[in-house]
Amino acid sequence: MLKIYFDNSHYDKRFRTQLFPLLRPFIKGENYTDTERIKDYGVSEKDFDLVDDIDYADVTILTMSWDYYIKQDQLDLARSFISETLANKKMVWAVSLGDIGFKLPPYKNVIVFRASGFKSKLPQMHLGMPVFKKDPLWAYFKTKTISIPEFTLRPNIGFCGYANGSVSEMLKLSLKALIKIPINAIKSNPYEFDPVFVASYERFLLLKRIEKDTSIDTNFIYRSQYRAGANTDVLRHQTALEYFENMEHSQYVLCVRGAGNFSVRFYEALAMGRIPVFVNTDCLLPLSDVIDWKKHVVWVEDHEKYFLGQKILDFHEGLSKHEFENLCRSNRELWKEKLSLGGFFKLQKAEKNNS
């Protein structure tokens, strides 16, 4: 059992979404049971022991995200905690959750988990982390077993989401981003550099390029706004259901970065037992030392996106019916065992125990 120390006085329930992900299953109401914890998060109180004394800890956790400490002007709290752990010769697990990362000082005892950022530009102590979402199979289809899509000679690729071909909208968003660049270049600004990238327009162009390929069947739903502009719980559920039904009826799913340099859709497609068509824009994927990602996805480097259709065809033609079905099952298992909240942090626990 991994012993974890964190400072509960840092917890701000107004910003629960900024809580370090592993702490979410344990900072709950008094009547929350371990059975519920296992069901909801895939972790148990038998996996992790939250200790009150730093001397007994195997690792410490910075309670809230780095984004929270900066935005709420609480950096002194974070720095004090890091100094305390360094004095006790302990490592700190921290998290960065924003679309655009914040510049972090190069603390020698801090490991930063994050989904965003550019792999080639990040320090070695910054590790890829999945985007943790509830299991879509259970949430929207009340099952834990994937349905295997029919294997066909022609690949079928799906997409449902914000993909807008409006040039005026693209120019407006580009100008907005360009204005931020000189501001973010100032040393006192906490944000990392992020080049101009209008995700909705880029997606639109890629989808249209795929549609022109007569060797590929497409299943695309274009939305002119994020989540089709849903602003009520009913509409949000409806648009989410349409989104996952689109995956359910597809073999492959196009996954391109969004506002930040990562794709939430990438992890959702794996959870659904589908094959992501992943456009790599120097992304920081999790567990690259133990996962051979190119065996699980159609891997397309950013400079290869003009040959997107051929990359999909080459991948699909290299699979037999049996191999295709096994890959769908394997992708679901990969998400469950390594990329869900419980699976990911159990792997971190095992690595820490073996170090």
**Helix, strand, coil percentages for the chain (3-state, nearest 5):** 45, 15, 40
Provide the pLDDT for residue 331.
98
Distance CA 274, CA 349 (A): 28
Provide the pLDDT for residue 100.
86
Ranges of the chain with pLDDT below 50: none
Distance CA 158, CA 249 (A): 8
- In which residue are the tokens 């550019």 written? 118
Q: What is the DSSP letter of 338?
A: I
Beta partners for residue 96, in sequence order: 114
Provide the pLDDT for residue 64.
97
Distance CA 69, CA 107 (A): 16
Q: Where are the domains of the chain?
A: 2-130+342-354, 136-339
Q: Which residues, other chains included, contact 50 with Cβ-Cβ below 8 Å and sequence gap of 6+? A: 4, 5, 6, 26
Provide the pLDDT for residue 162.
94
Query: In CATH, what is the architecture of 136-339?
Result: 3-Layer(aba) Sandwich (3.40)
Provide the pLDDT for residue 255.
98
Q: What is the pLDDT of residues 254-302, one digit of tens each?
A: 999 999 999 999 999 999 999 999 999 999 999 999 999 999 999 999 9
Provide the pLDDT for residue 152.
96
Distance CA 6, CA 58 (A): 11
Q: Which residues, other chains included, contact 80 with Cβ-Cβ below 8 Å and sequence gap of 6+? A: none
**Nearest Cα to Cα of residue 345 among 170, 96, 130:** 130
Provide the pLDDT for residue 46.
92
Distance CA 334, CA 325 (A): 14
Q: What is the DSSP letter of 199?
A: H
Distance CA 118, CA 101 (A): 10
- Contact assessment for residue 3 and residue 51, using Cβ atoms and an 8 Å cutoff: yes
